[in-house]
Amino acid sequence: MKILKEFTKDEAILKILQKYQFKTENFLPILLEIQGKKNGLNTETLDYLANELKVEPSLFYGIATFYHFLNPKKKARYNIYLCRDCTCELKGNKKILKTLEKILNLKIGETSPDNKFSLNLTSCLGSCDKAPAMLINKDLYNKLSPKRIIKIIEKL
């Protein structure tokens, strides 16, 4: 016999789901917004989300543990996640990484002494058609070039 769990409606999460039309293909922005709103992702939140979207909770557990930026522990004020996957590699993510390392004076996995920046690699961000791509906290940047990277970082 299957035991059904009762969930109390969470208006904040429902508002985010409505924004993304309850579509599971929008899982990344949905999880990022919920993480920001709830200050992290815990199992209750992921269970509730899975229930609302009528999918197995394991789907969201897998996603939340796969993507480093869905880790609730914040490293720095600006956490940079450069995509390391195939399309971004073909489109020159190594040049982007070199530029980031140079202007931030950081290596992958490091955080600046003032905690302003952390530099990380991540898996595909779903922006392959506009590669190379990166996230800074929850903001997606794509069609990156060394020149553009410098401008983006200067504005932070």
Residues within the interface to ligand FES (CB under 6 A): 83, 85-88, 124-125, 127-128, 131, 133
Taking the least distance from each CB to ligand FES, the nearer of 38 and 84 is: 84
Beta strands (DSSP E) in 97-141 are: 117-122, 134-136, 139-141
Shortest Cβ distance from residue 100 to ligand FES (Å)? 15
Taking the least distance from each CB to ligand FES, the nearer of 26 and 112 is: 26
Taking the least distance from each CB to ligand FES, the nearer of 40 and 92 is: 92
Contact indicator for 18, 51 with CB cutoff of 8 Å? no
Q: Beta strand pairing status for 78-83 and 139-141?
A: unpaired
Shortest Cβ distance from residue 96 to ligand FES (Å)? 11
Asked if omega into 132 is within 30° of 0 (cis), the reply is yes
- Round the CA-based radius of gyration of the chain to a whole number and report it: 17
Shortest Cβ distance from residue 142 to ligand FES (Å)? 7
Shortest Cβ distance from residue 2 to ligand FES (Å)? 37
Taking the least distance from each CB to ligand FES, the nearer of 41 and 133 is: 133
Taking the least distance from each CB to ligand FES, the nearer of 83 and 136 is: 83
Shortest Cβ distance from residue 22 to ligand FES (Å)? 24
Q: Residue 66's closest CA among 85, 91, 38, 90?
A: 85
Residue 14 in tokens = 């429902």
CA distance 109 to 111: 7
CA distance 83 to 88: 6
